[in-house]
Amino acid sequence: MKKNIIAMNASIMIGLGSILAAPSVYAESISDLQKQKESIQEKRTGVESNISDTEKKIDNLQDKQMTAEEQIEAIEAKIAESSKKIDAKNAEITETKKEIEALKEEIKVLKERIAKRNEVLKERALSFQETGGDVNYLEVLFGSSSFGDLVDRVGAVATIAEADRDILKQHELDKKDLEEKQNAVETKLASLQVAKAELLEIQMQQKQQKQEKDALVKKLRQQTKEHEDVKMGLEEEKENLAAQEKAIKSAINLEHQRLAELEAARKKAAAEAQKRAEQEAAQAAAQAASRASESKKQSTSSESSAKSNSSSPSSSPSLSSSNVSQVPAVSSGTFTRPSAGYVSSRMGERWNKQHAGIDIAASGTVPVVAAADGVVSRSYLSSTYGNVIFVTHSIGGQQWTTVYAHLRSRQVSEGSVVAKGQQIGIMGSTGHSTGQHLHFELHKGPWNYSKSNAVNPLNYINI
């Protein structure tokens, strides 16, 4: 009897020992979760800093774009001014050309006049050669019959000589005037053409400057768009980190709740064990006298209890017949297969972009299940992912994040605690998707915009 009491007490203490040992394990888990929470907070701070830096870059690019656009407006005004000046020069050139045409007529008249004078002068020179020049004049003078006649003849000779000098003088003046007019008009036309060429050169440079500024504005707009896309991605990463932090807090609360329940169970078990030990000690003497009879009663009672337990109905939930064949079996590894179907696209380079997960395709109504125990950090409609669910897991002190995208529908909300193999949605084709499939990502750590923590799910899940 004494041996039996010692054995019972030893059994109770072993049970209590296992219960008492558990809190240290959970304390480690809470410590790990707390570290993960602090890590996420640190990453959120970094992301917020990156968002701030990106906003500054966007502002700087927009300032440069505004400056370039203002410069383009100024250049366009200069081009318009140059065009006006070129038009004015063209008008002047046209007028000068008209002047040249009019001058050609004057030149023609002058040339005719000069030609006639040349003929007169030629005749006069020929006459001088034939008569000896001055002798002719002497004969005229000495041939006078009286003094009055001499005076008249001297006047006539002087008049003829003066006329000859006037002809020669006018001849020289007309030739000089002709040359000056020709030179003046040609100089003016050449000057106008040079001025026009200079204006055209200036305008060409202005147009080149405008093309360069247009290209700069286009480049700045493209850079601004790229930075705005980065900012949107960082803001989404910030939201995901905030959701993951919330999920970690939920997990910590669950651990605390589990610890409290465990402590209550430990106290209750200790009290029951103490009470049972006292009862067994008090009843030991009485049980010795009727051990055989009591053993028979206990044996009969145990058989009856076993039969009763074997006949009780199962409380396991049943799945509809339409989905039983589509629900993947829960594997024994760290992660289980998230849905039925075949791998239609693997992780890696695709369409000049990084495909950060795998695609599992299947037709019909295909359930999607959680790949491991965790807390839903996000459940929302994304412009790219479509209906998407993010689940945060803490496994062996390591944070993991699984992503289930392009769902037809979502069956869990943010903050929900999910179990491995629990259905969380239905496979679909929402967001940037072609054909029904599940896009599944596995991240060793939190999800981020660059998806630098993504790992190949096929290295962790047997599909």
With beta carbons less than 8 A apart as the criterion, state whether 366 and 326 touch. yes
Please choose, from the candidates 329, 50, 450, the residue with its C-alpha nearest in 3D space to the C-alpha of residue 441. Answer: 450
Split at pLDDT 50, 70, 90, the class of 312 is: very low
What confidence tens digit (pLDDT) does each residue in 185-227 have?
A: 788 788 888 888 888 888 888 888 888 888 888 888 888 888 8
Predicted local distance difference test score (pLDDT) of residue 127: 61
Q: Counting beta carbons within 10 angstroms of the beta carbon of residue 399, is it exposed (0 to 12), middle (13 to 18) or buried (19 or more)?
A: buried
Rounded to 5 degrees, φ, ψ at 161 are: -65, -40
- Measured CA to CA in angstroms, residue 270 lies from 16, 20, 40, 264, 273 at distances of 7, 10, 40, 10, 5
Asked whether the predicted pLDDT for residue 83 surpasses 50, the reply is: yes
Which pair of structure tokens corresponds to residue 394? 């803490």
Between 13 and 347, whose confidence is greater? 347
The confidence band for 6, taking pLDDT boundaries of 50, 70 and 90, is very low
- pLDDT by residue (tens digit) across 21-51? 334 334 456 677 777 777 777 777 887 888 8
3-class secondary-structure state, position 349: strand
| Mean per-residue pLDDT of the chain | 75
Cα dihedral 25/30/36/40 (nearest 10): 170
Cβ partners under 8 Å of residue 85, min gap 6: 199
pLDDT of residue 32: 72
pLDDT at 366: 95
CA–CA–CA angle 106, 112, 115 (5° rounding): 140
Q: In this structure, what token pair is assigned to residue 217?
A: 């504005």
Is pTM beyond 0.75? Reply is no
357-382 tens-digit pLDDT: 999 999 999 999 999 998 898 999 99
d(CA 28, CA 47): 28
Minimum mean pLDDT range among 25-39, 171-185, 424-438: 25-39
Percent of all residues in the chain with a pLDDT value above 90, rounded to a whole number:
20
Give dist(CA 212, CA 219) in Å, integer: 10
Helix axes 2-131, 147-289, angle to 10 degrees: 170
Tokens linked to 164: 């000859």
Lowest mean pLDDT among 116-120, 329-333, 440-444: 116-120
DSSP code per residue over 362-392: --SS-EEE-SSSEEEEEEEEETTTEEEEEEE
Number of Cα atoms under 13 Å in the Cβ half of residue 295: 5
Pair type for strands 374-382 and 398-410: unpaired
